[in-house]
Amino acid sequence: MRFHDLRHAHASWLLSGGADLQVVKERLGHGSLRTTEKYLHTLPDADETALDALAKVRGRRSAG
Residue 60 vs residue 4, higher pLDDT: 4
Summarised one tens digit per residue, pLDDT across range 6-64 is 888 888 888 878 888 899 999 999 999 888 888 776 666 656 666 676 667 777 655 44
Q: Which residues contact 28 (CB under 8 A, 6 or more apart)?
A: 7, 10, 11, 36
CA–CA gap between residue 19 and residue 46 (Å, rounded): 12
Q: Where are the domains of the chain?
A: 3-63
Check residue 50 and give its pLDDT.
Answer: 64
Q: How many CB atoms lie within 10 A of CB 19?
A: 13
Q: Which residues contact 23 (CB under 8 A, 6 or more apart)?
A: 14
